[in-house]
Amino acid sequence: MPVVSLNHSIKKGTSILDKKAFLSALKKILGFKPGRPGIYETAFIHRSATFEMPDGSCINNERLEYLGDAILDAVLSEYLFINYPDATEGELTKLRSRLASRATLNKLALTMNINKFIISHIINNNSSLKIYGDALEALLGALFIDKGYSRTRKFIIKHILKDYIDLNRVINTETDYKSQVFQWGQKLQKQIVFNYTEDYDFNEKKYVFTTVLRIDHEIFGEGKGSSKKEAEQKASLQAFKKINKLGFID
């Protein structure tokens, strides 16, 4: 993966991102000296500040964000599976969704002071918060490339789950995804519609409800359950995760 080096200072808004200060702060965040500083520098370049190289290639953190997102999901899935043996699949999915939500990652990035090193041309406002969580995921992607999965997993568990996130608070937070999606939709004047179908499962000998959630006529979620309420919540969870990932819910 091509990277951009901070051999010269790079302007970040009205401040200057200094290479020496960056590496010092990065070592403090990671707990060790990075082996490939350039890949970490790329992790903090938002697409609004994309660098175009002489060969025409563009440098920003989107690919690293994609990689980090997948690794974070894998580590969280394993961690929750091992540490919560009595939790159902649905409960594990909900808990993972809360831990990896855009709001959680944004706050976590701010707590870790990652925001100080992001290079972007976005004006500071509520909608710009998404770039902090994106940068955190990109940092995890860079760490994976530099040190591999085992080291990245250790960093996520030790320095994120145990140092920064109050797991008990997250676990004990009941989330009504349908209400949250509707509150978001009302605020932005979105049309939210549930469509239902009911079928009889002869194997299970019970009725199964399928719910499709549409926002402005676009499908955002689908869920199945033994009741309309259960199907609605599953569809709402999918929709919540989608709009959360897009940075629409703070």
Instruction: Please tell me whether residue 85 adopts helix, strand or coil conformation.
Output: coil
Catalytic residues: 69, 137
What's the rounded Cα separation, in Å, for the pair 104 and 130?
10
What's the rounded Cα separation, in Å, for the pair 42 and 1?
10
Instruction: Please tell me whether residue 180 adopts helix, strand or coil conformation.
Output: helix
Kindly write down the DSSP assignment for every residue of the chain, as one continuous string.
------SS-EEETTEEE-HHHHHHHHHHHHSS--S-HHHHHHHTB-GGGPEEPTTS-EE-SHHHHHHHHHHHHHHHHHHHHHH-TT--HHHHHHHHHHHT-HHHHHHHHHHTTGGGG-B--PPSSGGGGHHHHHHHHHHHHHHHHHH-HHHHHHHIIIIIITTT--HHHHHT----HHHHHHHHHHHTT--EEEEEEEEEETTTTEEEEEEEEEETTEEEEEEEESSHHHHHHHHHHHHHHHHHHTT---
What's the rounded Cα separation, in Å, for the pair 160 and 68?
14
